[in-house]
Amino acid sequence: MAHPDPMNDQRKAIIWQLWKGGSSMGEIARSIDKPPATVFSYLQYHGGIRPRKRVRASVTLTFGERGESGWEKHQHSGICLVSSDGQVT
């Protein structure tokens, strides 16, 4: 079940801006039209410290650059596995 009025990035930015400016949780809650408990829970979850924006490392491969996984390469290599009971897979 979806929340009727979820916390979006804009509201989160307002929370951090007002919190840094010294506004109370009640003031912040009124400005984003949410209950004070929501603001309290959000700030408590992050320890009152704004999380850093997540950035993907520049050295990571994209999905296309990864190509086939090792298992996919193994499946296409023509190698058959023989179990101890003699069955070929």
Please report, as a single letter, which amino acid is at residue 61. Answer: L
pTM for this predicted structure: 0.60
Mean pLDDT of all residues in 42-63 = 87
pLDDT value at residue 88:
62
**Mean pLDDT over residues 56-60, rounded?**
81
Residue with tokens 């951090």: 16
Mean pLDDT of 35-50: 95
- Please report how the helices 36-45 and 25-32 are oriented relative to each other, as an axis angle in degrees rounded to 10: 110
pLDDT band at 64; cut points 50, 70, 90: confident
Q: Give the 3-state secondary structure of residue 24.
A: coil
**Mean per-residue pLDDT, 40-59:** 90
**pLDDT value at residue 54:** 85
* Beta carbons of 35 and 25 less than 8 angstroms apart: no
